[in-house]
Structure 1
């Protein structure tokens, strides 16, 4: 049994310039309590494949291209599958479910991380998951336009490393993006990707449980993924919706084709617990389908590609100190995410010729892998304080009691830990720069302890492991939905295989990105003028944050400073294995996810998005995997007919 452990914040706490609750004895007691109650995986009945008995070991430095001799005398059923899926995240879990529906197809799902621990199920605790053992703990490389006040001028890039991937560590927002996003994908040559063509795949996954509406035009019923409202709404969440209403934004379902508006949004949850892709798509079938094998803690190091035929034949992975090779008769499908999918392709010889040659990697296909990186960028440096009537801070004893109370409840969970709180009060607006009939700014909020944040902003952000539910202030985050800036990802030159990739995010390199965000900031400042804010005593803290004190709070220069110094994203990286038609020089995969120049290999995850959608990425990634599953089945039928 693998025990989840919380992030070790003690080294950062030791250098803190302020007394932070999370760094206090109560903070450490809270971490210990959460670990004790939620640190294991409840369902430990999953069989662990004994690979020593079923697969031949490969020596650590053995030639990876010698793909046959390792398996002499080994029963084919243990080494060869129809499909191998790399990565059990939002896309990989869907693919494993749908492809294993056919009992005649043997499916292998490989996940680099462990089983999903119970702590992920608590909606209010995602801050605890970053920098823990189920996070890849990636950070960006220093650049001149972003993250300047962060330690090492580097921002975290949180990516889930567990069954469920990032759907197990995200903030559970169910959002699809704009109709225009998908119509533009199709317009740019990606046949089959218009909104009308993808809507059925959103609906296919969904089990819509919104009690106030039955909407079968835009929502699905009976799918694996439960979508509903959290069972608990606090005062500040309701205040935010009303404040936006006062500013002219209508309350609406933000998953429909028209987004400009506000709501307490839908979540990927059920009865006050997270619905990760693992919970929704894998757990119900895992012990029911003999043709689906899952191996956790399996770090894939290479896609095995026959150099003469340019055909993917299997993968090589590392587990418990040993390398293994497994083979795919039909396809290898990479679903490792927007950071790890391009890394794996490059390690396998699929990527930019110049970079691969510099590292001595034999080139299979010269493609623009790792480029076109972009994300929804914002700042973390805006703070609104609340009056006693609307703040939700708890005493030390109350904090520990709430954790225990949630744990002791039956299958249905309620109360403040059963929600992400103000995170799910979401608004979409258009700035004067946006010429399309769609928003370019999405606004999220999260709670914070105002005094502790203002005393030491960077350390507060780096160590805050407390529940989202308890705060005396909120932090508005206007996210840029349509960034023009682009970044890229390179292999680690010191250790390409096991070293963290070098992430150059490129945030805010384009002036228009900054100007749109400043206008978004100015809009959220006007919320202070609403009656809803006044009733909660909600006021902006107008003290300049450290690093930007040379500028007057509220000026254009000050806002540029907080954007470039206190840069953050909500971790929506996309585009690094871009989907595009054959005449797109930057495309890595075609509109059916097939890698250009390599047979029997696809990439299916958010890395293939040509342009980021206007909204959170979990639901769109699941939709893409639903559509990919159908494409794969269609291609298998066509292949059988041809042969």
Structure 2
């Protein structure tokens, strides 16, 4: 055990040094040593999934992408002992750093991130470097569930009933709820007793925050003051205020890889190939059937064959990119970049949807209770975290409560809100202009002008997030080179209705800070006008219409780029069983297949899609036996 413990400590400190830089965060080595000592059972290197050094020439199934969906599929498909499965992932392992909830923003633009940036557009992200939004995506086993803020939000029943109304049989709320419950191990005893909506014993641990500031309870009280109910947002009613539910376990991140891959790491019928970058799906020139995958591993091109299916679970950017590289996509575009068309699929890469919020809505307070990093991230909190598995390091960057509300553009009598408030005991200024600014890609000029005077001040934040955008972006190839990043066009706020909804959300957020509950903390809105909008009177509709285009925050919910639909929909890429139209033997199972984005953070729906997708595969192939 001593040798293993030493290896953990040495490797973790090395990872922290590479990630954060020597001396930038002095408490990190202490944190890692303490974690290794007190949590050896979790940090034992033997607990990591093993990488297959030698691969078979053929597998029953090849899964491309080891993220949230791919991890679930690898688990569920290998439940059939006679099936052999290969999981290809372009990144490597999670580390002890990725486990610590408060450090998630440190992972942005690290080696665990693809570091995508969108094309510059005047419609949004004007405060970002080169006017380009930063699209953080996980390049690691576990995918973006290793980098996200661990928020467990299933969405609204009307989202899924709408999918079904489009002709996608089997995707209504009553159909998908069992798959949400199948994964779940709910640790809140009150919620766990509500067996209609929750369950225990699944692979994915869902729990309440181990640590809250006094602001957390106040957020809910302010919601009641505004006339809203306190609800379980994953239960019978979404509209209202609630504490967040998190994919956490014992105070640490419960990524999809930790939940679904580690427990089955000894299954003989699963091979995992990390640092393996898929470059092409191989198809038969006559039948168009997918029969294998080409990928780069250790600098060498390799080909592996699939006897039954190739499954793309690479996410809403990489799955359509890989399809287009393989000749499956809009024929005109493929011809433009010199790729031979295998199947003309106009919808591949189109219909891109994402959730955006307005960043930087900060409210100064008079009490030292918020998550000011320079005060809370220290050796004492590191030891508390390692020994008792709680304290400020278990905080998901200050996210404490959530609210789902309806603006005047939604039907308030219908429980299908159009705005989500992410309520935080921190804001952009809480780390003194270091990691948050960098993660969001803000220019130094914008940050210094808007937040410079309140660096490290006590604040709370409201991030109003628009739930059902009408604007649509797209992804297309830059070239036929599979190592070139695709061209990503967000088109945020290009539909006028989105401008109206997001503006009303901002106005409601400011009103939230004016409640008597929040006033008791001395709350006052940080009303520094943002650059490019200073010529417009503050608090007017025209000012907010300008301001929302400045600090436009993606919530990293890219989706819908290979939409599920019926054969008569020319933009549908997959059928309701997630099979790619026109290409037998190929499925897409990830956020790409959503016809429309769900009402909330999308990690839980992606895991549900994979759970259901695995059953669809079993139903097809096991019925033939």
1:484 counterpart residue number: 470
Is structure 2 residue 508 aligned with structure 1 residue 523?
A: yes
1:278 counterpart residue number: 257
* 3-state DSSP of counterpart to 1:190: coil
2:50 counterpart residue number: 47
The within-5 A match list for 1:599-638 is 599-638=584-623
Per-residue displacement from partner, 1:445-490 (whole Å, max 9, x unpaired)?
34136488799996695489xxxxx961123111110100000001
Measure the CA separation in 1 of the matches of 2:32 and 2:534: 39
Q: Which runs of 5+ in 1 are unaligned?
A: 11-24, 55-77, 465-469
Is structure 2 residue 313 aligned with structure 1 residue 335?
A: yes
Please, what TM-score do these two structures have when normalized by structure 2? 0.89
2:499 counterpart residue number: 514
Shift of 1:173: 0.7
Is structure 2 residue 292 aligned with structure 1 residue 306?
A: no
* 3-state DSSP of counterpart to 2:170: coil
The within-5 A match list for 1:561-576 is 561-576=546-561
383, 395, 401: which one aligns with 1:419 = 395
CA-atom RMSD in angstroms? 2.6
Distance 1:515 1:256, change over 3 A: same
1:17 counterpart residue number: none
1:113 counterpart residue number: 91
Measure the CA separation in 1 of the matches of 2:33 and 2:107: 15
79, 95, 98: which one aligns with 2:73 = 95
The within-5 A match list for 1:371-410 is 371-393=350-372, 395=374, 399-402=377-380, 404-406=382-384, 408-409=386-387
Shift of 1:548: 2.5
Distance 1:590 1:257, change over 3 A: farther
Measure the CA separation in 2 of the matches of 1:404 and 1:458: 24
Shift of 1:258: 2.0
Distance 1:183 1:456, change over 3 A: closer
Shift of 1:6: 7.1
Shift of 1:404: 2.9
Measure the CA separation in 2 of the matches of 1:215 and 1:269: 20
Per-residue displacement from partner, 1:269-297 (whole Å, max 9, x unpaired)?
1121111110111101112x100111111
Measure the CA separation in 1 of the matches of 2:252 and 2:607: 19
Contact 1:123 1:420 in 2 (8 A): yes
Please, what TM-score do these two structures have when normalized by structure 1? 0.87
Measure the CA separation in 2 of the matches of 1:165 and 1:451: 27
Is structure 2 residue 409 aligned with structure 1 residue 433?
A: yes
Measure the CA separation in 2 of the matches of 1:7 and 1:517: 38
Is structure 2 residue 321 aligned with structure 1 residue 321?
A: no
Number of paired residues?
591
Measure the CA separation in 2 of the matches of 1:563 and 1:194: 34
Contact 2:239 2:405 in 1 (8 A): yes
2:165 counterpart residue number: 187
Q: Which runs of 5+ in 2 are unaligned?
A: 1-10, 445-455
Per-residue displacement from partner, 1:13-70 (whole Å, max 9, x unpaired)?
xxxxxxxxxxxx974545676688889993433433334xx5xxxxxxxxxxxxxxxx
2:202 counterpart residue number: 223
Contact 1:518 1:559 in 2 (8 A): yes
Measure the CA separation in 1 of the matches of 2:17 and 2:530: 29
Measure the CA separation in 1 of the matches of 2:251 and 2:457: 20
Contact 1:381 1:545 in 2 (8 A): no
Is structure 2 residue 575 aligned with structure 1 residue 590?
A: yes
- Between 1:324-333 and 1:398-407, the stretch displaced more is 398-407
* 3-state DSSP of counterpart to 1:639: coil
* 3-state DSSP of counterpart to 2:75: helix
